């Protein structure tokens, strides 16, 4: 391939790939690790600040940054050269988490008919349903990426026993606000969707509200602590609180 | 404010414009018209801005009434269109009189577009008027809906053009993805030698493809960390069938992708009838960028290729149907065409 900087992916070394006719992918790791996640968030912020010519928009996923460019202004090789000095300017894996992060407390029902796969997921992790709920709620989880659907967070990282696979079949539909688990991560669904992740909790969160000026509830870097509540409590929250009972404090 | 009323709408009829770029970081894909080129063609036919919203009809049917005179243009997959029973030429602009009823049905598949002078003036959400069904923005249109029209600034009608050839399938050029080289060479070659057809499973997020013979895929057990995905990506899902992502696709995904169809070739996929043969070929990134730039130039010049809707008498199968001799016509005979 007539590229830019293609190297064998080594941990601790970013790689630039072309992505489509009008994009570049800067990958900081082929596997999820906290340093690669921080590196992606920090590098994207630096690219946004530098706004290289031709870049139309940028985003992050778990360990990579996507740059979409206007192909009438630049191309893969040119943009790759343009961002190389920035990429080489520091050790992105040592970067701090983004500024303006928030700490959220989010009420959630675990198990019951609202979240029918708690027992199954717990069994895969070698835990009882009660232990599983306690484990998930023991410490805040970080928003590692927003993606897939509008405002949808990938939260991590759970303790090692949660390295459980996705199910092979898809659950046809989980509702908005569903909390699902796989591979030491949790996902909170912003829209009703089919999924291969196991549905262990249910929140009343509305992660994407297009009618608001700021329609996206969570940002990468935010931390989320789940607070177990009863089904009745969740229904009350749903009826009385537009943001699903979520309460935020500034982290930095 | 002028408005149009939906009398009947089949499934898959939505308001669409060029979509909402700028929200990928928040997980919201751009969306917008499945066939963007058709939006530009409609704008050229009406001599107006390409950002105006139109109605997209995904292989379905629609009938509307207009209380006041309105200009329209018809683009994308051809349908049978009638204004108060008189057939209208597709790929053309027309003037509808006050009280007219427009009925459209019977496309061979793909996406058809109905444009209005001034565009649709429905409320903007996050800077665009397009429905994004996957994100829960907007919805499919239904009988009884009333859609306001934007401010009319033009008057041209009765124009046509030769549309970009994209209604019979054909070759789709693609570039490599970060995973293309993970597919064994024999499989990549077989992919480019295979004839595909559109599967019935399709929506604005993606189009599943079908082929005779084996499916495709990587060896089991290879897991790919979820990363950015883009419209045109050809994901190979668990059952071995290729799935081409479209304008309303998710923003990230972990399925391996064998290639990415060039944006300038996507209309050929979108507008292919179910029976049309589709093939794929790799091009280099340099070739792809050059092709996109050439297409951007061609699209910028669409307005230069309009012609008045006049028919050559030699092409008219039934000359006597046209009141050529008396010189007495309704004034719009030349805009009509036999079914």
Q: Which two tokens stand for residue A142?
A: 């970080």
pLDDT at position A16 = 97
Contacts with B55 (C-beta within 8 Å, 6 or more apart), sequence order: B13, B14, B15, B16, B62, B113, B114, B115, B120, B141, B147
Please tell me the distance from the alpha carbon of residue B17 to that of residue B33, in angstroms, as a whole number.
Answer: 6
CB contact under 8 A, A59 and B25: yes
Strands of B92-96's sheet in order across: B13-16, B54-58, B111-116, B70-76, B92-96, B159-160, B307-308
DSSP A181: E
Q: Which of A25, A47, A61, A72 to mutate to test the interface with B (most CBs of B within 10 A)?
A: A61
Q: Of the candidates A20, A29, A76, which has its C-beta nearest B232's C-beta?
A: A20
Backbone torsion region of residue A50, taken as left when φ is above 0, otherwise alpha when ψ lies between -120 and 50, otherwise beta = alpha
DSSP B180: G
Q: What is the pTM of this model?
A: 0.91
- Look at residue A243 in the predicted model and tell me its pLDDT: 83
Q: What is the mean pLDDT of residues A95-114?
A: 95
Asked if the Cβ–Cβ distance from B175 to A21 is below 8 Å, we say: yes
Q: Is A72 on the interface with B (CB under 8 A)?
A: yes
Note the pLDDT of residue A184.
93
CA-based nearest residue in chain B for residue A78: B286
Locate the chain B residue with the closest alpha carbon to A65. B228
**B183 within 8 A of B153, measured Cβ to Cβ:** no
Q: What is the pLDDT of residues B45-68, one digit of tens each?
A: 999 999 999 999 999 999 999 999
How far is the alpha carbon of A61 from chain B, nearest alpha carbon, in Å?
Answer: 5
Of B28, B178, B253, the CB nearest to A25: B178
Answer whether A210 sits within 8 Å of B253, measured CB to CB. no
Taking contacts as CB-CB distances below 8 angstroms, the residues of chain B near A76 are: 285, 289
Cβ within 8 Å, pair A148-B22: no
B48, burial (CB in 10 Å: exposed 0-12, middle 13-18, buried 19+)? buried
Rama region for B130: left / alpha / beta (φ>0; ψ in -120 to 50; rest): beta
- Residues in chain A closer than 8 A to B284 (CB atoms): 1-2
Verify whether the Cβ–Cβ distance B228 to A72 is below 8 Å. no
Report the SS3 class of residue A183: coil
Which SS3 state, helix, strand or coil, does residue A182 take? strand
Q: What confidence tens digit (pLDDT) does each residue in A184-223 have?
A: 999 999 999 888 899 999 999 999 999 998 999 999 999 9
| Cβ–Cβ gap A208/B135 under 8 Å | yes
Residue B338's pLDDT band (cuts 50, 70, 90): very low
Residue A243 CB partners (closer than 8 Å, separation 6+): A205, A206, A217
Q: Which of A3, A68, A149 sits opposite B250 (nearest CB)?
A: A149
Residue A154 to residue B135, Cβ atoms within 8 A: no
Pairing of strands B54-58, B13-16: antiparallel
CB A13 within 8 A of CB A7: yes
The Cα-based distances of B64 to A157, B34, B195 in angstroms read 53, 22, 39
- In this predicted structure, what is the pLDDT of residue B182? 92
Asked if the Cβ–Cβ distance from B252 to A147 is below 8 Å, we say: yes
Chain centre to alpha carbon of residue B302: 16
pLDDT digits (tens, 9 = 90+) for B146-196: 999 999 999 999 999 999 999 999 999 999 999 999 999 999 999 999 999
**Which of B246, B248, B252, B294 is closest to B272 using CA atoms?**
B246
pLDDT in tens, B72-114: 999 999 999 999 999 999 999 999 999 999 999 999 999 999 9
The token pair that represents A249 in the structure block: 């404090």
- pLDDT at residue B30 greater than cutoff 90: yes
CA torsion A83→A84→A86→A87, rounded to 10°?
Answer: 110
pLDDT grade for A118, boundaries at 50, 70 and 90 = very high
The three-state secondary structure class of B240 is coil
Pairing of strands A102-110, A223-228: parallel
Q: Which residues of A touch B262 (CB under 8 A)?
A: 21
Q: Do A2 and B284 touch (CB under 8 A)?
A: yes
Distances in Å between the alpha carbon of B90 and those of B36, B47, B65, B201? 17, 17, 18, 27
Tokens of A168: 């092979």
**Chain B contact set for A30 (CB, 8 A):** 225
What single string gives the DSSP state of each residue in B2-53? -EEEEEEE-TTEEEE-S--TT-GGGT------SSHHHHHHHHHHHTS-TTSB
Q: Report the alpha-carbon distance of residue B248 to residue B33 in Å, rounded.
A: 9
| Distance set, CA A151 to CA A28, A100, A109, B25 (Å) | 23, 17, 21, 9
**In this complex, which of B27, B177, B289 lies closest to A152 when CB atoms are compared?**
B27
8 Å CB contact of A59 and B262: no
Q: Nearest CA to CA, how far is B213 from chain A (Å)? A: 24
List of long-range contacts for B221-225, beta carbons under 8 Å, 24+ apart: B222/B182, B222/B256, B223/B254, B224/B179, B224/B254, B224/B255, B224/B256, B225/A29, B225/A30, B225/A31, B225/A32, B225/A61, B225/A62, B225/A63, B225/B254
∠ CA B14-B19-B22, nearest 5°, is: 150
DSSP helix/strand/coil, A227: strand
| Residues 6+ positions from A212 with CB-CB distance below 8 Å | none
Distance CA A144, CA A42 (A): 12
Mean pLDDT of chain A: 93
Query: A-chain residues within 8 Å CB-CB of B137?
Result: 210
DSSP state of B193: H
* CB–CB contact A191 B178 (8 Å): no
Which residues lie below 8 Å from residue A130, measured CB to CB, with a gap of 6+?
none
Contact A148 B28 (CB under 8 A): no
Please report which confidence band the pLDDT of residue B323 belongs to, taking 50, 70 and 90 as the band edges: very low
Give mean pLDDT, residues A127-136: 98
Residue keyed to tokens 């500024």: A99
How much helix, strand and coil, in percent to the nearest 5, is found in chain B?
20, 30, 50
Query: SS3 for A52?
Result: coil
Asked if the model's pLDDT at residue B319 lies above 50, the reply is: no
B226-241 residue pLDDT tens: 899 999 999 998 789 9
């Amino acid at each position: 391939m007539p590229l830019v900087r293609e190297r064998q992916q080594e941990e601790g070394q970013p790689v630039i790939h072309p992505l489509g006719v009008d994009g570049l992918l800067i990958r900081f790791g082929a596997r999820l690790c906290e340093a690669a996640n921080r590196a992606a968030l920090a590098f994207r912020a630096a690219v946004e600040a530098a706004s290289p010519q031709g870049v139309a928009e940028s985003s992050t996923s778990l360990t990579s940054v996507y740059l979409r460019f206007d192909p009438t202004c630049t191309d893969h090789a040119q943009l790759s050269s343009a961002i190389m000095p920035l990429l080489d300017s520091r050790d992105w894996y040592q970067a701090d988490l983004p500024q303006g992060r928030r700490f959220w407390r989010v009420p959630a029902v675990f198990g019951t008919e609202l979240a029918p796969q708690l027992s199954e997921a717990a069994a895969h992790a070698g835990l009882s349903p009660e232990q599983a709920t306690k484990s998930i709620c023991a410490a805040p989880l970080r928003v590692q990426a927003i993606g897939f659907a509008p405002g949808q967070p990938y939260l991590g990282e759970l303790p090692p026993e949660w390295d459980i696979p996705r199910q092979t079949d898809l659950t046809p539909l989980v509702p908005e606000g569903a909390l699902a688990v796989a591979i030491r991560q949790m996902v909170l669904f912003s829209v009703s969707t089919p999924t291969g992740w196991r549905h262990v909790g249910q929140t009343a969160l509305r992660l994407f509200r297009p009618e608001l000026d700021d329609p996206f509830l969570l940002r990468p870097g935010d931390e989320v602590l789940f607070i177990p509540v009863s089904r009745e409590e969740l229904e009350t929250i749903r009826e009385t609180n537009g943001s699903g009972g979520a309460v935020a404090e500034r982290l930095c | 404010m002028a408005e149009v009323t939906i009398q009947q709408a089949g499934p898959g009829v939505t308001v669409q414009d060029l979509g909402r770029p700028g929200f990928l970081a928040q997980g919201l894909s751009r969306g917008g018209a499945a066939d963007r080129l058709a939006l530009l063609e409609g704008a050229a036919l009406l001599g107006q801005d390409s950002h105006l919203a139109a109605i997209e009809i995904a292989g379905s049917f629609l009938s509307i009434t207009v209380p006041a005179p309105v200009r329209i243009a018809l683009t994308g997959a051809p349908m049978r269109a009638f204004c108060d029973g008189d057939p209208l030429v597709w790929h053309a602009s027309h003037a509808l009189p006050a009280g007219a009823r427009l009925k459209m049905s019977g496309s061979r598949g793909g996406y058809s577009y109905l444009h209005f002078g001034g565009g649709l003036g429905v409320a903007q959400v996050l800077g665009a008027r397009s429905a994004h069904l996957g994100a829960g923005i907007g919805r499919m249109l239904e009988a009884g809906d009333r859609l306001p029209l934007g401010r009319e600034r033009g008057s041209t009608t009765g124009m046509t053009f030769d549309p970009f050839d994209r209604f019979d399938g054909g070759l789709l050029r693609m570039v490599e993805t970060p995973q293309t080289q993970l597919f064994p060479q024999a499989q990549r070659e077989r992919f480019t030698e295979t004839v595909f057809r559109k599967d019935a499973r399709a929506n604005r997020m993606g189009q599943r493809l079908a082929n005779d013979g084996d499916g495709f895929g990587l060896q089991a057990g290879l897991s790919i960390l979820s990363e950015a995905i883009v419209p045109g990506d050809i994901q190979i899902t668990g059952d071995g069938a290729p799935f081409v992502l479209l304008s309303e696709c998710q923003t990230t995904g972990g399925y391996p992708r064998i290639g990415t169809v060039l944006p300038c070739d996507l209309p050929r996929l979108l507008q292919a009838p179910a029976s049309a043969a589709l093939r794929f070929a790799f091009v280099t990134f340099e070739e792809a960028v050059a092709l996109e730039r050439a297409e951007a130039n061609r699209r910028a010049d669409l307005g230069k290729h309009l012609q008045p809707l006049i028919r050559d008498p030699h092409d008219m199968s039934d000359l006597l149907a046209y009141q050529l001799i008396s010189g007495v016509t309704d004034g719009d005979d030349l805009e009509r065409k036999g079914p």
